[in-house]
């Protein structure tokens, strides 16, 4: 695991809220990630996603070079938002043939459609201040920023976010079935970003702070 700053409280803004990365949240992210295991029944699904990600690593690295965001962070968000489809906006999976319609709507604000995937991805990361985020060098900082990208609703419900923990032992049920509507019995079928990162780290496909397999 990467070194964890003892007292720093970075904040992200989501829907007008300042969300602090507290010591308790740091410990939660680090502990869950260090013990995260992919559901054995979904191993092939996870491996297929990773194969696709690695095939397109160059495209993620090109956006990383323009933003400073680790390529694998871009890759796992892309998988969550559009199943890795390069004809869709990274913001929310809307089609690149027009500006985004769903939240955040009207992006990119400049330029004319159809948009290039890389240009739109840079806009999405800039919009959410990923390009100025100072803590990609810790697991907790990385997972916190990704969770805020998706929304803070699961933390408010006391439920492990499937955006992070889907397809691992840390997620069982509870899902926002549409904006603002939470169903405690619904189950997300997505593979969460932490599960993907854990598996990629175990295969030594990504660099620190995510490390290798837990001992």
Spatial contact of 167 and 191, defined as CB atoms under 8 Å apart? yes
192 is a domain residue: yes
| Residue 51, pLDDT score | 98
* Burial classification of residue 41, based on how many CB atoms lie within 10 Å of its CB (0-12 exposed, 13-18 middle, 19 or more buried): exposed
Is 61 part of a structural domain of the chain? yes
Flag whether 161 is in a domain. yes
Distances (CA, A) of 52 to 23, 45, 84, 186, 201: 35, 11, 8, 28, 16
How many domains is the chain built from? 1
Q: Is 7 a member of any domain? A: no
Domain with 22, as residue range(s), is 18-31+38-202
State the pLDDT at residue 208: 66
The per-residue pLDDT for 155 is 86
Structure tokens at 32: 């869950």
Tell me whether residue 67 is in a domain: yes
What tens-digit pLDDT sequence spans the chain (215 residues)? 333 333 333 444 444 457 789 999 999 999 999 999 999 999 999 999 999 999 999 999 999 999 999 999 999 999 999 999 999 999 999 999 999 999 999 999 999 999 999 999 999 999 999 999 999 999 999 999 999 998 888 988 989 999 999 999 999 999 988 878 889 999 999 999 999 999 999 999 997 677 543 32
What 3-state class would DSSP assign to 100?
A: coil
Structural domain contains residue 8: no
User: Which SS3 state, helix, strand or coil, does residue 179 take?
Assistant: coil
* Ramachandran angles phi, psi of 92, nearest 5°: -160, 5
What dihedral angle (degrees, nearest 10) is formed by the CA atoms of 196, 193, 49, 204? Answer: -30
Amino acid 186: pLDDT: 93
The token duo for 201 is 């780290």
The answer to whether residue 2 sits within a structural domain is no
pLDDT of residue 153: 86
Residue 211 placed within a domain: no
pLDDT value, residue 198: 95
């Amino acid at each position: 695991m990467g070194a964890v700053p003892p007292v720093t409280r970075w904040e992200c803004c989501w829907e007008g809220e300042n969300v602090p990365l507290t010591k308790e949240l740091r410990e939660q992210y680090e502990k869950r990630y260090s013990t995260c295991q992919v559901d054995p029944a979904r191993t092939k699904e996870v491996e297929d996603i990773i194969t696709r990600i690695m095939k397109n690593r160059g495209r993620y690295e090109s956006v990383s070079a323009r933003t400073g965001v680790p390529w694998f962070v871009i890759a796992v968000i892309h998988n969550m938002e559009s199943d890795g489809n390069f004809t869709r906006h990274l913001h929310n999976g809307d089609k690149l043939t027009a500006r985004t319609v769903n939240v955040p709507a009207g992006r990119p604000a400049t330029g004319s459609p159809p948009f290039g995937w890389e240009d739109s991805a840079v806009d999405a990361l800039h919009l959410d201040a990923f390009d100025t985020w100072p803590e990609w060098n810790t697991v907790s900082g990385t997972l916190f920023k990704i969770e805020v990208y998706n929304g803070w609703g699961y933390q408010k419900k006391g439920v492990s976010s499937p955006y992070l923990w889907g397809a691992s032992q840390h997620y069982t049920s509870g899902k926002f079935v549409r904006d603002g509507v939470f169903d405690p019995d619904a189950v997300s079928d997505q593979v969460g970003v932490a599960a993907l990162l854990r598996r990629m780290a175990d295969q030594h496909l990504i660099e620190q702070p995510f490390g290798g397999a837990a001992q």
